[in-house]
Amino acid sequence: MSSITSGVEASDRKQVIAGRRAVVAASVGNALEWYDFIIYALFAVYIAQNFFPGGDQTTELVKAFIAFGLGFIIRPLGAVLIGVYADRAGRKAALTLTIMIMALGTLVIAAAPTYAAIGIGAPLLLLVGRMLQGFSAGGELGGAAAFLVEHAPEGKKGKYASWLQGSMAISNILAALVAFSVTALLTQQQIGEWGWRLPFLVGLLIAPVGIWMRRTLDETPHFREEIARQNKSGVTERLPLKAAFVEFWRELLKGTGMCVLWGVSTYTLVIFMPIYIQRSFGMSGSDTFLASLIGNVFMLISCVVAGSLSDVVGRKKMLVVAAIILATAVHPLLWLLHMSSTLPTLIFVQTAFCIMVGLYVGVAPSALSEIFPTRVRSTGMSLAYNTATTIFGGFAPAILTWLSQGGGIYAPAWYMTAAAACALLAIATLKRPVG
């Protein structure tokens, strides 16, 4: 009996260790991948000057953010191709592929000559880099979330999956730290001429770490069991995309609605906000990046806390509470910053934004994963998330930059309220997990 007990304990310990390795490897890879993505938004002002000159600063910035948004157009294609690849070849293979493509896109942007050097070819090269990044990001979330959930012990799916967005907070911290260092150590002229490339080069240097870690991962137990089941039954799921649309179209609609707030809150309050505050409230880049750095530490904590709480109180309750907070609290916080545009107030406001976002996005991955069964999980999640993010999140910076140029400093608040309303309608339809 003791040998049986010790064998079970050894098996449990092995599962825990494998789960922790999965969290670290998937999170680090995801953080490195999102770092490259976020750096573009943080240095959009300087990218605009180098690749879209000739107009006023607002027009240049809008063009730069349109290029940022165009990278989202290809995300659904990445979601489909890499999502299907993950459901057929495995989560590990897909995760390794996504980080390699992201590194290539970052290299193109880091090395691209400016408009002054090669003319129209410069923004075209920039767009190629953004397309590669967008394609990679399109397939990243579904594969990474499925990987974490399928490695999680029973009763800890929320906690494990929360590290997906927690790792994004880590990438935000790293990006903000690099951005703060560059803006603090270099002059504006130096940043504009060559300093803006340094953060992208940092991303290239650390990309091999993520690739190595992902190549050493074990495939998930759920995926191995699903393949074994298909082999035993003789029925192989060769068309997960078709199955997602035909059998789970209702789940796709629910998931997309839920992901609207996921994408909008992240890209508006976390990624775009430092640039928005600089332009709308006249604060310095170093101040906004410092506030972003501090805020994202709290976002990391709130993601993990919210995900862990969802294992106890339920995903639906946590999502509803977080959505209501996002719908109602952004406006008064922007008003507070408008009344007192100081560094302490900025740090408080940005920290509040990050905590609010963390409460929602820390729960969203596990909630979305539970909508779809293993055989179409990566495909379904990738489609739902990227459809919502492409339409409502990717062009949020360009839309809000345009809306705010006439003095509409509360544009992010109204945008957030609309996204929260959409999400609440979708959350209300969520039922028990299907797989």
Residue-wise pLDDT for 135-166, tens only, equals: 887 777 777 777 777 777 777 888 888 887 88
Pick from 272, 262, 266, 261: which is nearest to 397 by CA? 272
| Cα–Cα dist 59/62, whole Å | 5
Q: Hey, is 177 helix, strand or coil?
A: helix
Encode pLDDT of 21-58 as tens digits.
Answer: 777 767 776 777 678 777 887 788 888 888 888 767 77
Average of pLDDT values for 269-279? 84
Judge whether 1 lies within some domain: no
| pLDDT > 50? residue 385 | yes
Pairwise pLDDT comparison (285 vs 413), residue with the higher score: 413
**Other CB atoms within 10 Å distance of the CB of residue 309:** 20
Neighbour-count burial of 245, counting CB atoms closer than 10 A to its CB (0-12 exposed, 13-18 middle, 19+ buried): middle
The position carrying tokens 């767009």 is 127
Judge whether 432 lies within some domain: no
CB 148 within 8 A of CB 22: yes
pLDDT at 329: 95
Pick from 95, 212, 221: which is nearest to 152 by CA? 221
Encode pLDDT of 179-232 as tens digits.
Answer: 878 888 888 888 888 998 999 888 887 677 777 766 666 666 666 666 666 666
DSSP one-letter code for 114: P
| Cα–Cα dist 291/215, whole Å | 35
The CATH number assigned to the domain holding 86 equals 1.20.1250.20
**Separation of first and last alpha carbons in the chain:** 34
- Enclosing domain of residue 351: 13-427
Q: Of 77-91, 235-249, 297-311, where does mean pLDDT reach its minimum?
A: 235-249
| Cα–Cα dist 235/28, whole Å | 35
Judge whether 7 lies within some domain: no
DSSP one-letter code for 392: I
For residue 154 the two structure tokens come to 């029973």
- Per-residue confidence at 15, pLDDT binned at 50, 70, 90? low
**Other CB atoms within 10 Å distance of the CB of residue 111:** 13
Q: Residue 160's Cα: distance from chain center in Å?
A: 16
Judge whether 74 lies within some domain: yes
CB 104 within 8 A of CB 132: yes
| Cα–Cα dist 394/401, whole Å | 13
pLDDT at 419: 93
DSSP assignment string, 246-285: HHSHHHHHHHHHHHHHHHHHIIIIIIIHHHHHHHHH---H
| Cα–Cα dist 80/142, whole Å | 10
C-alpha distances in angstroms, 247 versus 23, 138, 250, 356? 30, 22, 8, 34
Alpha carbons within 13 A on the beta-carbon side of 77: 10
| Cα–Cα dist 243/344, whole Å | 52
| pLDDT > 70? residue 18 | no
CB 159 within 8 A of CB 307: yes
| pLDDT > 60? residue 431 | yes
Judge whether 345 lies within some domain: yes
Judge whether 5 lies within some domain: no
Encode pLDDT of 314-356 as tens digits.
Answer: 999 999 999 999 999 999 999 999 899 899 999 999 999 999 9
* pTM for this model (two decimals): 0.78
Based on its alpha-carbon atoms, the radius of gyration of the chain, rounded to whole angstroms, reads 21
Q: Residue 183's Cα: distance from chain center in Å?
A: 24
Encode pLDDT of 67-82 as tens digits.
Answer: 877 777 787 788 778 8
> What's the longest Cα–Cα distance across the chain?
79
- Per-residue confidence at 19, pLDDT binned at 50, 70, 90? low
Q: How many folded domains does the chain comprise? A: 1
pLDDT at 435: 47
Neighbour-count burial of 7, counting CB atoms closer than 10 A to its CB (0-12 exposed, 13-18 middle, 19+ buried): exposed
DSSP one-letter code for 90: -
Judge whether 2 lies within some domain: no
| Cα–Cα dist 62/300, whole Å | 30
Judge whether 6 lies within some domain: no
For residue 274 the two structure tokens come to 């430092």
C-alpha angle 123-124-127 in degrees, rounded to nearest 5:
85
